[in-house]
């Protein structure tokens, strides 16, 4: 079973997706980390991540591995586990560009579907509901106004000892929004049947409560539908 959650940067996807997975006993699949891992790996190999010559074969030769352990995604490079280095602002910005390359999206979409075959997952990203898991009935789109998203991102970096100006973060988020929404390949947009939640004025527990209620109601309706079909 897959619960797919999409939304722009700073909408609160990562935090609430992790909590939702824990609450339901699902596995949390942070697909944004997978794109950051590709960006980090390409930089590590001194490759130009935006070049048109990048191929699927090149990506497959990278010593990147994705797996699941203790309910979460595990990323390793050459046997070394990657974590905080993937959260550096430079890598986040690189990942935005990397995500627009067809070979990268093909490479990671395949990995994401393979990981979802292992067990029930909460998959969080930008094209989970529209491309990767478009057949799941459990689709969510989280959003928030840009001022709220920039403040959240600033607090996130501050918690890691990084002080970044609000104006710079807001500009970066606007640029990321434009890139995600306007790209020709898997643009960021709500799926037509997604459950929409504006988190601007909501605390994380309130968002989590809404998502649990959505999931439970949707599951009950599907179970009733299955029972009615069987009876008919």
**Position 203 in a domain:** yes
Res. 49: pLDDT tops 60: no
pLDDT at 183 (0 to 100): 83
The total of structural domains in the chain comes to 1
CA atoms within 13 A on the CB side of 53: 2
Bridge partner list, 124: 5, 30
Report the C-alpha gap between 110 and 132 in whole angstroms.
Answer: 9
**Position 232 in a domain:** no
Instruction: Provide mean pLDDT across the span 69-79.
Output: 91
Buried b or exposed e, range 90-118, using 16+ CB within 10 angstroms: ebbebbbebbbbebbbebbbebbeebbee
Res. 99: pLDDT tops 90: no
**Position 14 in a domain:** yes
**Position 171 in a domain:** yes
Query: What is the pairing mode between strands 64-69 and 72-77?
Result: antiparallel
What does the mean pLDDT of the chain come to? 90
Q: How close are the terminal C-alpha atoms of the chain, in Å?
A: 25
Res. 232: pLDDT tops 80: no
Residue range 78-90, pLDDT digits in tens: 999 999 899 888 8
Query: What is the pairing mode between strands 80-82 and 121-125?
Result: unpaired
**Helices of type H across the chain:** 13-24, 31-44, 56-61, 89-98, 102-116, 146-159, 166-182, 204-231
Query: What is the pairing mode between strands 72-77 and 80-82?
Result: antiparallel
What's the predicted TM-score (pTM) here? 0.89
pLDDT at 52 (0 to 100): 67
* Of 45-54, 111-120, 182-191, the least confident: 45-54
Residue range 123-178, pLDDT digits in tens: 999 999 999 999 999 999 999 999 999 999 999 888 888 888 999 999 989 988 98
**Position 231 in a domain:** no
Q: Cα angle at 37 between 138 and 9, to 5 degrees?
A: 50
Q: CATH no. for residue 196?
A: 3.40.50.300
pLDDT at 100 (0 to 100): 85
**Position 196 in a domain:** yes
Res. 184: pLDDT tops 60: yes
**Position 205 in a domain:** yes
Report the C-alpha gap between 11 and 97 in whole angstroms.
Answer: 20
Residue range 197-227, pLDDT digits in tens: 999 999 999 999 999 999 999 999 988 876 6
Q: Cα angle at 92 between 86 and 98, to 5 degrees?
A: 105
Report the C-alpha gap between 73 and 209 in whole angstroms.
Answer: 24
């Amino acid at each position: 079973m897959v619960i797919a959650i999409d939304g722009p940067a700073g909408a609160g996807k990562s935090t609430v997706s992790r909590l939702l997975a824990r609450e339901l006993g699902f596995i949390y699949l942070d697909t944004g980390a997978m794109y950051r891992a590709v960006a980090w790996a390409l930089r590590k190999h001194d490759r130009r991540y935006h070049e048109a010559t990048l191929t699927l074969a090149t990506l497959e030769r990278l010593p990147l591995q994705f797996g699941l352990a203790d309910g979460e995604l595990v990323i390793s490079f050459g046997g070394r586990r990657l974590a905080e280095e993937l959260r550096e602002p430079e890598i986040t910005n690189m990942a935005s560009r990397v995500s627009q390359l067809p070979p990268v999206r093909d490479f990671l979409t395949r990995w994401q579907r393979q990981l979802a075959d292992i067990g029930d997952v909460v998959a969080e990203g930008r094209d989970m509901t529209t491309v990767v898991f478009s057949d799941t009935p459990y689709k969510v789109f989280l959003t928030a106004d840009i001022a709220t998203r920039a403040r959240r991102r600033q607090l996130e970096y501050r918690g890691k000892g990084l002080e970044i100006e609000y104006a710079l973060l807001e500009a970066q988020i606007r640029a990321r929004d434009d890139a995600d929404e306007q790209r020709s390949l898997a643009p960021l947009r709500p799926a037509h049947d997604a459950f929409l939640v504006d988190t601007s004025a909501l605390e994380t527990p309130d968002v989590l409560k809404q998502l649990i209620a959505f999931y439970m109601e949707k599951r009950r309706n599907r179970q009733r539908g299955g029972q009615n079909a069987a009876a008919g």
